[in-house]
A and B are shown apart, each in its own frame.
Chain A
Amino acid sequence: MNSVKTDVPCSLDAQLLIDSVELPEFEAHDKQQTKYTTCYMCACRCGIKVTVEDNQVRFIQGNPNHPINKGVLCAKGNSGIMKQNSPAKLSAPMLRKPGTERGAGEFEIISWARALDILEKRLAQIRATDPKKLAYFTGRDQMQALTGMWASQFGTLNWAAHGGFCSVNMAAGGLYTMGHAFWEFGDPDWDNTKYFVMWGVAEDHSSNPIKIGLKKLKERGAKFVSVNPVRTGYQAIADEWISIRPGTDGLLALSMVHVLLRHQLVDEEFLIRYTNSPQLVVNTPGVKGDGLFYRRAGEIQIWDQTTDSFADARRTDVAPALFGEFKAPDGTPLRTAMSILLHKYLDDAYAPENAAKECGVDAETIERLALEMAQVAFRETITLDIEWTDWAGRKQDKFIGRPVSMHAMRGISAHSNGFQTCRAIHLLQILLGTIDCPGGHLAKPPFPKHVPPGIKPAKECAPNTPLKSPPLGFPTCPEDLVIDAAGNPLRIDKAYSWDAPISCHGLMHMVISNAAKGDPYKIDTLMLFMANMAWNSSMNSAQTLEMLCAREDDGEYKIPFIVCSDAFHSEMVAYSDLILPDTTYLERYDTISMLDRPISEPHAACDSVRIPVIQPDRDVLSWQEVMIEMAGRLKFPAFTTPEGERRYEGYKDFIVNFQKQPGIGFLAGYRGADGSKSLRGEPNPRQWEAYEENEGFFEFQLEPNQRYMRHANRDYMELAKEAGWVGSTDQILIELYSEKLQTFRLAGQGLYDGPMPTEEHHKERLVKYFDPLPFFYMPLEEQRIDRDEYPFHAVNQRPMFMYHSWDSQNAWLRQIMSQNYLFMNRVAGEKAGIKELSWVWVESHNGKIRAQVKLMEGCNEQTVWTWNAIAKKGGAWGLSKDANEATDAFLMNHLISELLPAKGDQQDRITNSDPVTGQAAWYDLRVKITPAADGETGTWPLFSSHEPLPGAQASPQMLSYSSHKNVNLKRPMLDILTRGEK
């Protein structure tokens, strides 16, 4: 496991050298302590080993034993000292000064007692009257299991984290297809894969594991293909870079599917055993029931070739026909899902020659890539001679590996066709039989889950009453939508409405816009944790700032009260009424819980904790403590004893003693009274200490026979059920054909026995986009603007050294980048008469910005791009008012509308998001570029600066951080005077 960093320079005979030189003692080790915790510089959650002296950080390094990072650390993790020492740290609770404007940034420091009282009164009032008037949204937090549970207990539907504007398309695309997905849900089998395709990965999700994996590929000589309009970061070391036009990845994937099907290069055994492709689908267009599976006595049917008769699809003693058209006894025409699939993708629309026109990837390349994958999958198969038992109890003597793997992320996700594109990529993986097999795409416990996971979103809320289920879940049919009888949204973000029916992570990007409009209703309090919605985390940032300050006719703010918890002086702070200062990641207890998306690796179930390594020097309280405190004060049932007393003293107590079901809590490790039980066991009062003693994490290795084919692996499924990861040990059937999507399509067609939309545009969207098989469509913005007027795609990515982090405040990281440029292909730039480092206007349907251009080779010719979130408001994040981030850097967000481009139709007020999942369509943006006039330089628009907060430490002019006085290695004077040239 820990092979990455064990190669010490064995040739360096350290002992010999030490004998020959006299070195001073550089480090006072006896004054230093080593502590283990979990990094939080991004979402990667690496284990870190922190050396501390005198409550100062000496050194943060990767924990060599940690399953995620195996000792390595990225640029952010290595800059944790500067996060801990940021002058932007909030120092005390603050209240907007009475009589001052929201956004003016004038605050008074108040005590925690007062802050918590204010919050308690406000929340109690809301909870007792109309709980959904609390909108509680969290940013990049890693405790959604807790915050979601808190929202449920509070009784508000209006809770979500940032997934809706980040990667819900990837999560939903996988979970609605095969029960696991990319990133937190699955990984390529780095140790065995021979062919790896990376789609739209913007140097991000995830950080160190991908880097460790890519190194393994390179060492082994596996081929690495990168599909990305921009060649930076990971793409730079790819064997082949496919410069795709943004938003067309789905077409590329399906064109490869076309090639595979044309040459009959699919894993038929895999399809028959593990997917629903042989299942029979009713083929009665225009009639109720069309496109649904053919059932008898409630059981889906297949056509059994051995008996030439219908049979229950779940039976194992059958030989299902993969292709064919059949007739039910009542005459209903049927065909297998695979037949539909063949029919669909063998269509000329998906032929490489036609796909090439849209994707910008030539037909020969498409064909070649598909055939290379087929070669590796079918001719370079690997087998692991490990005996395992399938779901039906049959012994299998080996795992067959088709060593083609893929990873896809934001470049796929952040388009309005991202869900279907993600499904298209999974389809390609599935046809090649590469799911959870050696060398393929592996699931990470607690995934895979049944398709989709069996949690339905809560639909009803009532005063002083917890929700019946979590606010977020996985709808499988229109009945699961969170809408009222008239079909109107019940959530403030309009998640689970006809606008975005399967928005399983919510639509955080719509909350402020909707709340300011009072559409679908007005809220009372917006509570944000670790989310910079007043700046780079919102689309249309400039207008979002106005929305945050918008008032009713009576002078009341349209969003009456805004609470924000953050550790740092983000742009959002100035737009809040009550500020609750959070601790830094080195100052807090935290759990990266198995109930959430833990840190598991494919072959090990893992979770981890944060344990304070530094004592805060400010009047701060971690948000999780505030959550537990409020839950106690508001007497949430799960936080209150039958006698009406507070059940938990605080966060640590809650984590140890809360049980979701008997024996299952937030942490899966070191359970049982004596800490000897794993995954399930009664609470262990010493659980925190056990984690501390075990370097802050828990790792449960799967047995070799539980490591692959887990969707159909009995030994694994039994473990998963025991651990509470799945509800049953039934096979997790991969759904190439999604009947669940078809139910929505039928609702759009008016052919559904259940809720159906009344508005025409909703019907059209359902019919078009809820295709039960993945398909390609042009992203919505592109459909609604003039493509000739806005000829360029505009996308953005976070640089590796700032990915998923808050780090323009970081004195080291901001030196690497404090200004972003608009990057453009050199040839395209030269054609357009745009010169290196010239200033240009970038204009979209939503507005314009001024930016400075850099020309480059590794960029698709129809694409411009930039590094995201480099721009900051002056004065925020501890930065000076004239910081480069405030004067030269720019946000692309101003160009992106949270609504679809206006055309004067009903869709004008619909979210600029994926019509299936509500995923924010950041990368649909199209722009035109015109040179700025002479003298027009500097970024535009410019924003007013923030004033320092009360109690803020001044940002120094010179920084010389050191945890101790340096021990200089002196050169002897004799040596100086006597040494010659060499």
Chain B
Amino acid sequence: MAKLGLVVDLDTCVGCHGCATACKQWNTSGTIGPLSDKDPYGRDPSGTWLNRVRTYEVGDTPNSKTVHMPMSCMHCEDAACVTVCPTGASYKRKEDGIVLVDQDKCMGCNLCSWACPYGARELDPQAGTMKKCTLCVDRIYDEKLPQAERQPACVLTCPTSSRVFGDFDDPNSDVSRLTRERGGQQLMPELGYNPVNTYLPPRNKKVVESYQIKPSLGATLKQWVNKVITR
């Protein structure tokens, strides 16, 4: 048994969208692929993405901060998307808690996407089935991949290592440790879905001391005295 999920570090995410396109790239040929794109070269291109990055500004000028927030499936412990699914296509794996959509069984009723508060599910305009993050179930267990690469594509690619993958049931895992040490938070916990993924809030600003200056020093040229320093 395991509780697999992601930790996203809001302190270091620069909003590059690398995770979003890595996800798109891996999964379009992955187990739930393809991820279709409507009007890809036309007006209002709109495709299926499993991970999107949004940018917020917190606070008002001049005391504000920019925060980049990547969002994908939280693999909730009490996943309402699974509860509402009439066909049983949506399910949460007992082994590791990954929430998946069996592409052969989905009828495309959208109800699971209505039940999801995080916008994690998107209907594929071509296949007519619901697509969502699989935590790259087709990577993390693939023994033919090098051990270090058995991670979700978004985690593998993140240039600021702002995404960490692991087992929240293991108190010694990186994800558990980071959540503990950095005050990792769930998004919208009040809905009671118990999202597994956590977000690490931005760290407090680093404060550096100023050099303690001697007030007697003035601003004139003459006060500089040559020291004997050998070249």
Instruction: Consider the complex of A and B and state whether they touch directly, i.e. have CB atoms less than 8 Å apart.
Output: yes
Mark A residues whose CB is within 8 Å of B.
4-14, 17-18, 20-21, 23, 26-27, 29, 58-62, 64, 69, 71-79, 81, 87, 195, 203, 207-208, 211-212, 214-215, 218, 221-224, 231-237, 239-240, 243, 262-265, 268-269, 272-273, 278, 305-306, 315-324, 339, 342-343, 346, 368, 371-372, 374-376, 378-379, 800-801, 809, 811-816, 818, 825-827, 856-858, 861, 878-880, 882-884, 887, 955-964, 966-971, 973, 975-977, 979, 981-982
Q: List 12 A-B contacts (CB under 8 A).
A: A12-B166, A17-B141, A61-B153, A74-B17, A75-B17, A75-B21, A76-B21, A218-B11, A321-B226, A342-B221, A814-B40, A970-B102
Write the nearest CB–CB distance from B206 to chain A, whole angstroms: 4
For the complex formed, measure the closest distance between the CB of A314 and the CB atoms of chain B, giving whole angstroms: 9
A75 touches B18 (CB 8 A): yes
CB-CB under 8 A for A237 and B12, given A74-B18, A223-B208, A966-B103: yes
B47 touches A811 (CB 8 A): yes
Give Cα A317 to B228, complex, Å: 12
> Taking each of A78, A315, A809, A964, which has the highest tally of chain B beta carbons within 10 Å of its own beta carbon?
A78
Does the CB pair A73–B206 fall under 8 Å? no
CB distance from B221 to the nearest CB of A (A): 5
A215→B36 contact, CB < 8 A: no
Alpha-carbon separation in the docked complex, A268 to B31 (Å): 63
Q: Which residues of A contact B160 (CB under 8 A)?
A: 211-212, 214-215, 237
- In the complex, the answer to whether A27 meets B144 with C-beta atoms within 8 Å is yes
**Interface 9-mer from B65-73, B109-117, B184-192:** B65-73
A839 CA / B229 CA spacing, docked (Å): 63
- Verify A343–B221 contact, CB threshold 8 A: yes
The CA-CA distance from A982 to B76 in the complex, in Å, is 11
- Please tell me if the beta carbons of A78 and B211 are within 8 angstroms of each other in the complex: no
Q: Write the chain B residue with the least CB distance to A814.
A: B45
B67 touches A72 (CB 8 A): no
Residues of A contacting B17 with CB < 8 Å?
A: 74-75, 800-801, 816
Contact assessment for A971 and B138 in the assembled complex, using a CB-CB cutoff below 8 Å: no
Chain A residue with the shortest CB-CB distance to B126: A960
CB distance from A439 to the nearest CB of B (A): 14
Contacts A73-B22, A800-B15 given; does A815 touch B174 at CB 8 Å? no
Q: Chain A contacts of B96 at CB under 8 A?
A: 17, 21
Q: What is the CA–CA distance of A234 and B213 in the complex, to the nearest angstrom?
A: 32
Which of A17, A265, A346, A977 is the one whose CB lies under 8 Å from B221?
A346
In the complex the two chains form, is B229's CB within 8 Å of A14's CB?
no
Are A811 and B226 in contact (CB-based, < 8 A)? no
Chain B residues within 8 Å of A, Cβ to Cβ: 2, 4, 11-18, 20-22, 24-26, 28-47, 49, 55, 57, 59-62, 64-68, 78, 83, 87-89, 91, 93, 95-96, 100, 102-105, 125-127, 134, 137-138, 140-144, 147-151, 153, 156-162, 164-167, 170, 172-176, 202-203, 205-211, 213-214, 217-221, 223-231
> A208-B159, A323-B221 are known contacts; what are 12 more A-B pairs with Cβ within 8 Å?
A8-B148, A10-B173, A11-B172, A74-B157, A237-B160, A240-B205, A264-B217, A317-B230, A317-B231, A815-B49, A955-B40, A976-B91
Which of B32, B34, B137, B217 has most A Cβ within 10 Å?
Answer: B34
Residues of B within 8 A of A239 (CB): 205-206
Task: Name the residue on A nearest B148 (C-beta).
Answer: A8
CB distance from A807 to the nearest CB of B (A): 11
Q: Whole-angstrom distance from the CB of A907 to the nearest CB of chain B?
A: 36
Q: Is A955 a contact of B42 with CB atoms below 8 Å? A: yes
Q: Which of A816, A958, A969 contacts B38 (CB 8 A)?
A: A958
CB proximity of A271 to chain B, nearest CB, Å: 9
Q: Are the CB atoms of B211 and A6 closer together than 8 Å?
A: no
Among A75, A320, A955, the one with the most B-chain Cβ atoms within 10 Å of its Cβ is: A75
Nearest A residue (CB) for B47? A815
B31 touches A218 (CB 8 A): no
| Residues in chain A near residue B38, CB distance under 8 A | 957-958
Tell me whether B15 and A236 are in contact (CB under 8 A).
yes
In the complex, the chain B residue whose C-beta lies closest to that of A4 is B161
Q: How far is the CB of B84 from chain A (nearest CB, A)?
A: 11
Residue pair A81, B159 in contact (C-beta under 8 Å) = no
Report B126 CB to chain A, min CB distance, Å.
Answer: 5
**Bound: A69/B160 CA distance, A:** 11
A73-B22, A215-B161, A346-B219 known; A966-B30 Cβ under 8 A: yes
Minimum CB–CB distance for B179 against chain A, Å = 12
Q: Which residues of B contact A861 (CB under 8 A)?
A: 61
Chain B's closest residue to A76 (CB) is B21
Interface pair A14/B15, CB less than 8 Å apart: no
Q: What is the minimal beta-carbon distance from B76 to any residue of chain A, in angstroms?
A: 11
Report Cα–Cα, A324/B156, bound state, in Å.
Answer: 58
B-side contacts of A223, CB under 8 Å: 206-208
Q: Is the CB of B43 within 8 A of A884?
A: yes
Tell me whether B33 and A966 are in contact (CB under 8 A): yes
CA distance A239 to B208 in the complex (A): 10
Closest to A392 in B: B231
| Contact in complex: A959, B36 (CB < 8 Å) | yes
Within the assembled complex, what's the spacing in Å between the Cα atoms of A306 and B134? 74
Q: State the Cβ distance, B227 to closest chain A Cβ, in Å.
A: 6
Residues of A within 8 A of B207 (CB): 223
A778–B99 alpha-carbon span in the complex (Å): 59
Closest residue on chain A to residue B20 by CB atoms = A75
A236 to B96, CA, bound (A): 34
Q: Determine whether the beta carbon of A969 is less than 8 Å from that of B31.
A: yes
* CA A368 to CA B203, docked complex, whole Å: 22
Query: Once the chains bind, are B161 and A232 in contact (CB under 8 Å)?
Result: no
10 nearest CB pairs, A to B: A11-B173, A976-B88, A211-B159, A811-B40, A955-B41, A9-B166, A26-B138, A236-B66, A75-B17, A11-B170
Alpha-carbon gap, A72 to B158, bound state (A): 6
Q: Is the CB of B36 within 8 A of A960?
A: yes
Q: Which residues of A contact B46 (CB under 8 A)?
A: 815
Q: Are B45 and A14 in contact (CB under 8 A)?
A: no
Q: A7-B174, A78-B157, A960-B34 are in contact. Are A320 and B231 (CB under 8 A)?
A: yes
Most B CB contacts (10 A, CB to CB) among A7, A203, A231 go to A7
- Closest approach, in angstroms, between the C-beta of B22 and any C-beta of chain A? 4
A182–B127 Cα distance when bound, in Å, is: 48
**Distance of A42 Cα from B121 Cα, bound (Å):** 31
- B residues within 8 A CB of A977? 88
**A residues in contact with B60, CB < 8 Å:** 826, 857
Q: How far is the CB of A867 from chain B (nearest CB, A)?
A: 13
Query: Could you tell me if B16 and A75 are in contact, using CB atoms closer than 8 angstroms?
Result: yes
Separation in Å of the B128 CB from the closest CB of chain A?
A: 12
Q: Are B221 and A339 in contact (CB under 8 A)?
A: yes
Task: Chain A residues near B103: list those with CB within 8 A.
Answer: 966, 968
Closest Cβ of chain B to A49, distance in Å, is 9
B231 is contacted by which of A18, A59, A315, A814 (Cβ under 8 Å)?
A: A315
**B105–A214 touching, CB < 8 Å:** no
A880 close to B42 (CB less than 8 A)? yes
List of B residues within 8 angstroms of A371 by Cβ: 210-211, 213
CA separation between A182 and B224, bound complex, in Å? 32
For the complex formed, measure the closest distance between the CB of B143 and the CB atoms of chain A, giving whole angstroms.
Answer: 7
CB distance from B152 to the nearest CB of A (A): 10
Whether the pair B141, A18 counts as a contact (CB closer than 8 A) is yes
The answer, among A5, A64, A825, A956, for a CB contact under 8 Å with B161, is: A5
* Closest chain B residue to A60, Cβ basis: B25
Contact across chains for B173 and A12 when beta carbons are under 8 A apart = yes
Give the nearest-CB partner of A880 in chain B: B42
Verify B34–A966 contact, CB threshold 8 A.
yes
Q: Closest A-chain residue to B125, C-beta based?
A: A958
- Complex CA distance for A236 and B138, rounded to whole angstroms: 34
B79 vs chain A, min Cβ distance (A): 9
| B91–chain A nearest beta-carbon distance, Å | 5
* Chain B residues within an 8 Å CB radius of A827: 61
Q: How long is the Cα–Cα vector from A212 to B26 in the complex, in angstroms? A: 22
CB-based nearest A residue for B176: A11
Task: State which of A317, A322, A376, A814 has its C-beta within 8 Å of the C-beta of B208.
Answer: A376
CB distance from B194 to the nearest CB of A (A): 10
Q: Find A375's partner among B83, B210, B220, B227 (CB 8 Å cutoff).
A: B210
A968-B102 in contact (CB<8A): yes
Say yes or no: B25 contacts A306, CB within 8 Å. Answer: no
